[in-house]
A and B are shown apart, each in its own frame.
Chain A
Amino acid sequence: MTSRERVQLVLQHKEPDRMPLDLGASPVTGMQVDTVYNLRQALHLDPPGTPVKVVEPYQMLGEIKSDLMAVLGVDVVGLSQRATQFGFKNEGWKPWTTFQGTPVLVPAGFNTEPDANGDILMYPEGDKSVPPSGRMPKGGFYFDSIVRQPPIDDSALNVEDNLEEFGPVAADALNYLSREAERLYSETDKAILGNFGGTGFGDIALVPAPWLKHPKGIRDVEEWYVSTLTRRDYVYKIFERQCEIGIKNLEEVFAVVGNRVTVCYVSGTDFGQQNGPFISVKTYRDLFKPFHREINNWIHRKTQWKSFIHSCGSVRALLPDFIDAGFDIVNPVQCSAAGMAPEELKKEFGDRVTFWGGGVDTQRTLPFGTPDEVRKEVCERLRIFGQSGGYVFNTTHNVQARVPVENVVAMYETVRQCGRYPLAGRPA
Chain B
Amino acid sequence: MSQFEEMQQAIIDGKAPVVKELTEQALRDGVKPAEFFPKAIVPAMNEVGRRMRDCEFFIPEVLIAARAARAATDILRPLLVGDEASRSAGTVVCCTVKGDLHDIGKNIVAMMLESAGFRIVDLGVDASPEKIVQAVQEHKANLVAMSALLTTTMVNMKAGIAALASAGLRDHVKIMVGGAPVTENWARSIGADGYGKDAPTAVDLARSLVAN
Contact = CB atoms under 8 A, between A and B. Distances in A.
Main secondary structure of the interface of A (DSSP, over half): loop
A419 B126 CA distance: 41
Interface in B170-212: 180-181, 183, 197-198
Contact of B151 (A229, A278, A400): A400
B64 A277 contact: no
A143 B55 CA distance: 32
Given A135-B101, A137-B99, A364-B183, A225 B60 contact: yes
Interface string A150-190: 00000000000000000000000000000000000000000
A275 B126 CA distance: 24
B150 interface: yes
A228 interface: yes
B180 A363 contact: yes
A226 B67 contact: yes
A226 B99 contact: no
Nearest to B55: A276
B63 interface: yes
A397 B198 CA distance: 22
A373 interface: no
A229 B61 contact: yes
Nearest to B16: A230
A273 interface: yes
B60 A367 contact: no
Contact of B181 (A277, A280, A317, A363): A363
Interface in A140-156: 140-142, 144
A225 B198 contact: no
Contacts of A278: 58-60
B104 interface: yes
A287 to B, nearest CB: 10
Nearest to B63: A226
B199 to A, nearest CB: 10
A12 interface: no
B102 A225 contact: no
Contact of A137 (B58, B64, B126, B180): B126
A274 interface: yes
Nearest to B101: A144
B180 A273 contact: yes
B91 to A, nearest CB: 24
Interface string B149-184: 011100000000000000000000000000011010
A140 B181 CA distance: 17
A426 to B, nearest CB: 34
Contact of A273 (B59, B63, B102, B151): B59
Interface in A110-127: 117, 119
Contacts of A140: 99, 152
Contact of A400 (B102, B150, B180, B198): B150
Nearest to A135: B101
Contacts of B152: 140-141, 400-402
A131 interface: no
Contacts of A401: 152
A274 B150 CA distance: 13
Contact of A402 (B59, B67, B151, B198): B151
Top 6 nearest A-B pairs (CB, nearest first) are A363-B181, A144-B101, A229-B60, A367-B151, A137-B99, A278-B59
Interface of A: 117, 119, 135, 137-142, 144, 221-222, 225-226, 228-230, 273-280, 283, 313, 317, 362-364, 367-368, 400-402
22 contacts: A137-B99, A140-B152, A222-B63, A222-B107, A225-B59, A225-B60, A225-B104, A226-B60, A226-B63, A228-B60, A229-B64, A230-B64, A274-B198, A278-B60, A280-B55, A280-B58, A283-B58, A313-B180, A363-B151, A364-B181, A402-B151, A402-B152
